[in-house]
Structure 1
Amino acid sequence: MNYNNPARTQAVILDWAGTVVDFGSFAPTQIFVEAFAEFDVQVSIEEARGPMGMGKWEHIRTLCDQPGISARYAQAFGRAPTDEDVTAIYDRFMPLQIEKIARHSALIPGALETIGQLRTQGLKIGSCSGYPAVVMAKVVELARQNGYVADHVVATDEVPNGRPYPAQALANVIALGISDVASCVKVDDTVPGILEGRRAGMWTVALVCSGNALGLTHEEYQAMDAQQLAGERVRIHGMFAGSRPHYLIDTLNDLPPVIADIDRRLAAGEMPQGS
């Protein structure tokens, strides 16, 4: 048997919050703020957004390692936060997240139609998230009620290592029966999610406006003037630069032309690892 480059895209691996649901990715960020507040430690929305895309325990650990937050924790408790303290915050975060996830469960406008268009092209729809399985169960059910059902879902605690490791993306490859990782496209609104796709050997597409990077509601996004939006795009492109996404687009609705271009590149013999 000989190896042949894949000729076309087989699957799209989609993130959830900020990609398909929850325009602006508010569900996780707001709950981080509330969970820390219950320990009398102030964390801003901007700080909470910083490590977005990681598993939630690792996200909290990363926040606690930030000098400003660590200092506020030390002021409240007389010491820097330990792993046990991180677990205590995580244990409070989880029920808050489950309780309030429905507030930010709406599908991103146009996402359902875009995913339908991808399916008509024969693409499988995988998915993964920084949420653990107990939260994902509720997210998936709420999405189902709104008409979206992915072909496969992988939560961050269903693999040995979450993002930026490639395990979740690769678990989708196995479950969906994909013949070559180079025929997969990972779509995400966070740097860890793009790194996940890169390390899995996939094409990667970073979302600039619908997720954590811009951090606005759909209405706020639509109300931005062209000059302001252009400036934000420059900032966010810079934020993603180190993770080297193959494409940057505003929202999932801009994905079909990207898939067409990837198919063109695959047909010409180009592979994601080479660019």
Structure 2
Amino acid sequence: MQHTLEAVIFDWAGTIVDFGSFAPTQIFVDAFATAYDFTLSLEEARGPMGLGKWQHIEALGKDPVIGTRWQAQYGKPMSHDDIDHIYRTFIPLQVERVGAHSDLIPGAQDTVTALREQGLKIGSTTGYPRQVMDRLVVEAAAKGYSPDCIVCADDLSAGARPGPWMALQCVLELKVGNVAHCVKVDDTLPGIYEGASAGMWTVGLALSGSPAGLTLAQYQAATTEELAAIRAKVTPEFKAAGAHYVIDSVADLVPVLKDIESRLATGERP
């Protein structure tokens, strides 16, 4: 019986591209302002990161603080039509700007190259809709990253994160023989839930994505103490969501995969 890994399934923004996951975050802020003249902070916009974008807007509307502010401004809770309007505003802004946030996270290319040299398949899931990914895929390919499959938040009738369906669709498309031979890597809690509920090993990224909210320049300038404080906050949240490992960024992934291989060889499963 095979006891080796077969595939790694990556998220996109904050995991492989767009250090700090700023493309979707800033555009949520802009979409709320454009559609309804409603003020949303970057920190608030990050809250439900990892969900599909329509569901992300819905979750923002249900947030107690944001929802109370919306009710005060408009005299009613955010409705389905309101969410649709914000989403329709969000999508063209995202398509227009996603290319500006398509740089690979430092170490991502080396990690993917190492995985391919080991014969691993590369899958990907994303909270972006297909319309946005059609643009981002081209930009990422020009910079050297082309996964073997891409599953978007609006591809499946079953839904998206935090359910397992996108990750399991990768299993189907990659023809993986055992979900326990897959590793899901993500910078968001919904993405960790996705991998865990699909029966995969899961790896959370503490510093490169949305929870830390650092630009690459801020990360590079941060002190050891500042980074340690972020890890101390983020790591328990990832662990509670089911993460088997928490590392700083995708650049640190290869040793984790070696450890998982050792655990598989002894019969351990996620």
> Distance between the aligned counterparts of 1:263 and 1:240, measured in 2?
21
Q: Look up the equivalent residue of 2:4 and give its one-letter code.
A: R
Matched, 1:88 2:85: yes
Deviation of 1:233 (Å): 0.5
What are the ranges of 5 or more consecutive residues in structure 1 without an aligned counterpart?
Answer: none
Q: Choose which of 235, 239, 248 in structure 2 pairs with 1:250.
A: 248
Cα offset, 1:219, TM superposition: 1.4
TM-superposed deviation, 1:82 = 0.6
Equivalent residue number for residue 78 of structure 1: 75
Q: Which amino acid aligns with 1:216?
A: L
Question: 2:243 and 2:236 mapped to 1: Cα distance?
Answer: 11
Paired position in structure 1 for 2:106? 109
**Percent pairwise identity:** 51
Consecutive aligned runs of 4 or more in structure 1 exceeding 6 Å deviation: none
Q: Is the 8 A contact 1:41 1:72 kept in 2?
A: no
Equivalent position of 2:239 in the other structure: 241
Pair 1:22-2:29 in alignment: no
Whole-angstrom distance in 2 between the partners of 1:184 and 1:244: 15
Deviations 1:164-197 (A, max 9, x none): 0000000000000100000000000000000000
Amino acid at match of 1:221: Y
Structure 1 distance, partners of 2:171, 2:238, is 24
Q: Residue 133 of structure 1 aligns with which residue? A: 130
Q: What TM-score, normalized to structure 1?
A: 0.95
Question: Deviations 1:230-258 (Å, cap 9, x if unpaired)?
Answer: 11110111222320200000010110001
TM superposition shift of 1:27: 0.3
Cα distance, 1:35 vs. partner?
A: 0.5
* Cα shift at 1:79: 1.4
1:209-230 deviation line (CA, Å, top 9, x unaligned): 1000101111111111111111
Q: Give the partner amino acid of 2:266.
A: A
Letter in 2 for 1:141: V
In the alignment, which residue of structure 1 is the partner of 2:215? 217
Structure 2 residue 41 is matched with structure 1 residue 51: no
Matching residue of 2:203:
205
Q: Which amino acid aligns with 2:190?
A: P
Give the number of aligned pairs: 268
User: 5+ residue gaps in structure 2?
Assistant: none
Q: Measure, in 2, the Cα distance between the counterparts of 1:239 and 1:47.
A: 17
